[in-house]
Chains A and B, each alone.
Chain A
Amino acid sequence: MQSSDLGWEGRRPLIPTARPWRALLESREFTIFAFLLALSVALSLRYPQFRTQPNLADVLLNVSQLAIVGIGMTMVILTAGIDVSVGSALGVCAVVVGDLLIGTHAAVVAVVGGVMAGVVIGLTNGLLVALGRVHSIIITLAMLNILRLVGFALLHGNWLTGIPSDLSALGNGTVLGVPIAWWLAMGLGGLATYFLRSRPSGRHLYAIGGDVEAARLAGVRVTRLTVFVYALTGALAGLAAAVFVGQQGQVQTNAGSGFELQVIAAVVIGGTSILGGKGSVVGTVLGALLVGVIRNALVVAHVPALFEGLVLGALIIVAIGLDLLHRRRGH
């Protein structure tokens, strides 16, 4: 796991470890994977309805949306920023996708329109953060509420129903028994992993998160890359909105509210440091799976859905605790 133990804090041991298998076993990705496996087995044994095909497909479909937006969020958090507006952004983009479907019956137009709406939202975030030099939590917290107003105004306070089923392939279609949206998330995750590990711009994101002034002095185009990561996150929220519309077939007035917590939880649980400069998309995808399985566990175990905030909040705290513990032990 190159990108997770080769952070830009320069903590890599001078002599490479003689036991690479041990590095793998100690990596965050392996920890989550083992935990995920144990949890799934336990759930399957205790609640047989968990392992039914429709339930698992449903979990994967929800996880796909988390993972798609999580890819962008990982890059934002790598630069030591945060974007809490993704839930509202998904809501607004879902309205755009739904309206375009009703107007044109063309799936491609709807998806492109949703992504373009997301890019506009993301560009607004990115330009305000990068050029205004205001902390991203302030900008995106404000945008969270502004976008909810935009979505509310677009919907005139009513649910958007009667959306044609042209996008249902993206929402419910499967290839080899696995939802199409999941293949999409995997493809994007692969591209993002390649970008972060091997492209100069990808490495520069780690540099910005490690020390922004040092990165600037080293010639990294900080402003341009910052705008890019927010715009990308917006675009991915638009894509996730297309999956959302395909899955739900309608758009509620509160669509996407609370989604930002799930995405941030997935990224942070996946080992991406909230301080920036360390993390990987592989971790985020595993984190999204864990968040999805835990949310489903609450459903099959008949725990009130109201507890979700408490559970995800506690998970974030635990994940950060592990991360900081790891850092202080000098890894």
Chain B
Amino acid sequence: MAAVPRPGRWLRAGGREGLIRLLSERPLFLLLLLAIIVVVNAALVPYFLTLGNLLSLTAYAVEIGLLALGEVVVIITGAGAIDLSVGSMVSFASMVFGLLLTRGHVPLGLGIALTLGFGVLMGSVNGLFVTVFRFPALIVTLATLYAYASVPLVLTNTVPISNLPSGLYRLTGSLAGVPTQVVVVFIPVVLVLGFVLHATVLGRYVYSIGINELAARFAAVPVRWTRFAAFCLSGLLAGLTAVVTTSRFASARPDAGMGMELQAITIAVLGGASIAGGSGTVAGVVLATLLVTVMDNAMNVAGLQSTWQLGALGALLIGSALLNQLVRQRFGTRRGRVG
């Protein structure tokens, strides 16, 4: 299991073996990669290494980071579990949030709570089909990817909703120079999820059903409930992402989450999650999020549009998936071929 760290061992090995060991220590490898990209950026862009610029970058990391955290938990539960619908859930939840605040005249706090609840509802629909009706997650979330994307477009005939209450924008202000959403949303979510996933029984359930579902069932692990909860968590974090992104853009956009599934899946896989399940860590996801954010920023500075960023993410996804496979073949048990 990739979650078990073996610090320092790769140092003694040396040579080609040492390189592959380094690749298997995912957080360390990501840190190294991040350092390289930061140094390259700093050399090319004079103001890159200023504290203000680095802190403002983290604001962009929050949204894709939240989605990737939900995605990684779903992928860890294994049995081909994946959530392709995260981006569309963000779009749908954004429009629901916007409509609640403007046409529904709902107070801000209640609006946020209802939006999070709506996210859980969308996630539970995915989870219901996957766990109760035992549909393959791939096709269920592919269907909801298009279904959830279609409804918000119809709701206002593709027009974004603005004129939101000004109190909302405090969420994406700044606290002592740090973007507010990093402090009040991202860091708490990372800490709570990291604790639950790596230090509680529920977290062990998540890994155990991904590593060996049959063994987990014999050990009285509630397999279906755990996987169902993972899909609900993915929906919850998509709802939270919708709130943050609506605040940051000062408008609820019906295409707010378009293409975000690629970012979420790329970050999860780059962070060490294997589609076969059972591997992936919160630390890996956080580092991978920073990596993707800095890469996106570099492409922005170079004047390349979002099509380029998505294309580059695609290449990064293939590269990291091949890397995971290489590491697993070298160190892990070969758990079923995928096709």
Contact = CB atoms under 8 A, between A and B. Distances in A.
Contacts, number: 141
A36 interface: no
A138 B129 contact: no
Contact of B321 (A132, A145, A213, A304): A132
Interface in B54-79: none
Interface in A91-143: 128-130, 132-139, 141-143
B150 A324 contact: no
- Which of A133, A144, A275 is most buried by chain B, counting CB atoms within 10 A of its CB? A133
A7 B143 CA distance: 25
Contact of B140 (A135, A149, A312, A317): A317
Given A306-B153, A317-B135, A146 B325 contact: no
Contacts of A136: 338-339
Contacts of B139: 264, 268, 274, 316, 320
A133 B338 contact: yes
Contacts of B259: 145
B149 A309 contact: yes
Interface string B312-333: 1111011001101100010000
A141 B317 contact: yes
A155 B315 CA distance: 20
Contacts of A130: 339
B327 to A, nearest CB: 12
B290 interface: no
A208 B339 contact: yes
23 contacts: A82-B138, A128-B318, A132-B318, A135-B80, A135-B275, A138-B269, A141-B261, A141-B317, A142-B266, A142-B313, A148-B307, A149-B310, A149-B311, A150-B311, A212-B339, A274-B138, A304-B154, A306-B154, A312-B143, A313-B150, A317-B135, A320-B139, A320-B140
A307 interface: yes
Contact of A275 (B136, B144, B261): B136
B147 interface: yes
B147 A138 contact: no
- Which of B135, B143, B311, B315 is most buried by chain A, counting CB atoms within 10 A of its CB? B143
Interface string B146-162: 11011101100110000
Nearest to B149: A309
Contacts of B265: 138, 141
B82 interface: yes
Interface residues of A, number: 51
Contacts of A207: none
A81 interface: yes
Given A306-B150, A306-B153, A135 B313 contact: no
A210 B139 CA distance: 18
Contacts of B329: 133
Interface string A74-97: 000001111010000000000000
Nearest to A136: B339
A80 B135 CA distance: 14
B47 interface: no
A264 B143 CA distance: 10
Given A148-B310, A314-B143, A316-B143, A135 B338 contact: yes
Contacts of A324: 133-135
Contacts of A134: 275, 318, 321-322, 324-325, 338
B159 to A, nearest CB: 12
A308 B339 contact: no
Which bucket holds chain B's interface residue count? 35 or more
B143 to A, nearest CB: 4
Nearest to A146: B314
Interface string A283-312: 000000000000000000000101111101
Contacts of A82: 138
Contact of B142 (A129, A132, A258, A264): A264
A320 B135 contact: yes
A4 B303 CA distance: 52
Contacts of A160: none
B195 interface: no
B338 to A, nearest CB: 4
Contact of B144 (A268, A313, A320): A313
Nearest to B153: A306
B308 interface: yes
Given A213-B337, A268-B139, A152 B307 contact: yes
Given A128-B318, A141-B262, A321 B311 contact: no
Given A134-B322, A212-B337, A307-B154, A145 B146 contact: no
Interface in A156-173: none
B338 A274 contact: no
